[in-house]
Amino acid sequence: MTPALCAVIGLLIGLAGGVAATWYYIRNSAGNVLTAAKLEAQQLKDNAAKEAQNKAKEIELSARQAQMKFKEQFERENETARNELKAHDQRLSKREDMLDRKLDTLSTKEKHLEDRESRLTQKERQVSIKDDELTGVLKEQRERLLQIAGMSADQAKEVLLRRIEDECRQEAGALIQQITEQAQDEAKEKSRQIVLQAIQRYAAEQTSDHTVSTVTIPSDDMKGRVIGREGRNIRSFEKTTGVDVIIDDTPGVVVVSCFDPVRREVARMSLERLVADGRIHPARIEEVVATVSKEMEEELIKIGKEAVQEANLPNINKAIIPMLGRLAYRTSYGQNVLRHSMEVAYLAQVMADELGLDGTIARRAGLLHDIGKAMDHEQEGGHPLIGMEFLRKFNESEAVLNACLAHHGDVPATTPYTPLIMAADAMSASRPGARRESLERYVKRLRELEELATGFDGVRQAYAIQAGREVRVIVDAKLVDDKISAKIARDIAKKIQDEMTYPGEIKVTVMREVRSVEYAR
């Protein structure tokens, strides 16, 4: 063998040994890897089984919890549905009971109606029978009357027609009298409504002036200076102003007295200025009184212009305006005459407008009707005549002159405006609160009404309202029933008519009330 061949054989043997060794190594390595893979696969399988088991337990637990929740919710809904059904059943039961009661009531009413219908049917039969009998009796009586009277049917008709004619004449006369009385009542009611409407549409404040004014003196020393040495200051003051000054022991007050309200106001203002100035002597007194008198004249013109403007009468003569201002300081029974004149003017205008007359003339006559009171203390005679003579100088119309002269009924009225002024004058003067004496009589009448009503048995309280035109009487419901209440109302009204004097009419209202009170605790 050649060396080369040997080398090739040796190489092949070496290769075969290497391959065998490699194969053996690979076989052993593959076995190890396979074994490790099997072990790892078994471990993964075991872990997966455990995890799947845990997951299954969690799913089972969640499913059980959800089932419990669904069960509880179902039970709650089921309970709510059962309660609603129960309430619905109760309502249905109540409705069934109500329907049963209504059905029983309807059955009872139906039975009553059937009974009434049967009775009415029976009564109709009886009435029909009696009607037939009455017709026969009347026919028989008519024949007997004709036989007895010896008249024919035509003669009987003539006598009957004559009798019916006489009866119709009597009824017509009574109807005419009734219509006449109704027309008079309606006219009275209409006039009353016009008067009430005029009163309701006007309202004004009232002030009460007096015949004396008081002036505050700061000290007794100043009071002595007002008197002056041997009384010369007070004598000079009284002579200059024409008032009486009363100084007594009353501390801090001096009284100025005079029936002329303008003169009294001038004296009051002058004395106040003298006291404030401190210089009091005859020359100073004359100076201050002259100044205040001039200011008062201007004030009177201002007040008169305001009154004319308020009354919307711009064409009043200038000489009349200060006299209207003097009325602001003039009172009649405590009522301010200027405000009274404004009231009369407005009330007269409202009534004139309602009656289709000239409201401006009525308002003018109302404003000037008492103008004589501004000068009646300076002239002789009554204020109507003085005022009429004064207004005649300024060419006032006949309606205004007659209203001024005749508003107290001393002379006849010649125009339709005079009765309106008289009515408005009476309303303004007699309304409650306008005059002190009227107010006292008014309060006394209300008290007498209440005392008269409370004097009856069963009456608990009585209240006079509506300015004494109505008496509300409250009776004891335990002692007085409805019939006795009506009798008490009649008796009170009759006693008021017999024992009291009052304008118009007084309404008596008797109230009987039953109150039942309980407390829920």
Q: Which is more confidently placed, 5 or 241?
A: 241
d(CA 196, CA 192) in angstroms, rounded, equals 6
Q: What is the average per-residue pLDDT within 84-110? A: 86
User: What CATH number corresponds to the domain at position 441?
Assistant: 3.30.300.30
- Other CB atoms within a 10 A radius of the CB of residue 359 amount to 19
List the one residue out of 345, 30, 323 whose CA is nearest residue 198: 345
pLDDT at 195 over 70: no
User: What pLDDT does 334 receive?
Assistant: 63
Q: What is the CATH number of the domain that holds 407?
A: 1.10.3210.10
Give the percent of the chain with pLDDT over 90.
0
* 246 DSSP β-pair partners: 255
Would you give the distance in Å from CA 297 to the centre of its chain? 45
Picking from 366, 371, 376, 415, the residue whose alpha carbon sits closest to that of residue 393 is 371
Q: 339 and 393: one domain? A: yes
Q: What is the pLDDT of residue 209?
A: 40
Of 372, 415, 413, which Cα lies nearest the Cα of 393?
372
Q: Is the per-residue pLDDT at 521 higher than 70?
A: no
Q: How confident is the model at residue 333 (pLDDT cuts 50, 70, 90)?
A: low
321: tokens are: 């305006």
Same domain, 306 and 210: yes
Phi, psi of 509, rounded to the nearest 5 degrees = -120, 115
Q: Residue 419: give the domain boundaries.
A: 315-434
CATH number at residue 264: 3.30.1370.10
Choice between 434 and 461, residue whose per-residue pLDDT is larger: 461
Number of domains in the chain: 3
Q: What's residue 262's pLDDT?
A: 81
Residue 398 in domain: yes
Structural domain contains residue 162: no
Q: Is residue 461 part of a domain?
A: yes
**What pLDDT does 210 receive?**
44
355 within some domain: yes
User: Of 310, 334, 364, which closes a domain?
Assistant: 310
Mean pLDDT across the chain: 79
Same domain as 397, residue 356? yes
Nearest residue to 484 via CA among 518, 454, 459 = 459
In this predicted structure, the answer to whether residue 226 has a pLDDT above a threshold of 60 is yes
345 pLDDT band, cuts 50/70/90, is confident
Query: With contact defined as beta carbons under 8 Å apart, do 273 and 292 qualify?
Result: yes
Do 238 and 244 form a contact (C-beta atoms < 8 A)?
A: yes
Q: Tell me what the mean pLDDT of segment 387-393 comes to.
A: 88
Q: Residue 506 falls within a domain, yes or no?
A: yes
Q: Which of 253, 280, 310 is the last residue of a domain?
A: 310
Both tokens assigned to 388: 């009429």
User: Based on the domain organization, do 385 and 396 belong to the same domain?
Assistant: yes
Q: Which of 390, 415, 434 is the last residue of a domain?
A: 434
Q: Does 367 share its domain with 405?
A: yes
The Cα–Cα gap between 458 and 470 comes to 19
What is the percentage of the chain residues whose pLDDT exceeds 70? 83
Does residue 503 surpass a pLDDT of 70? no
Q: Is the pLDDT of residue 501 over 60?
A: yes
173 domain-assigned = no
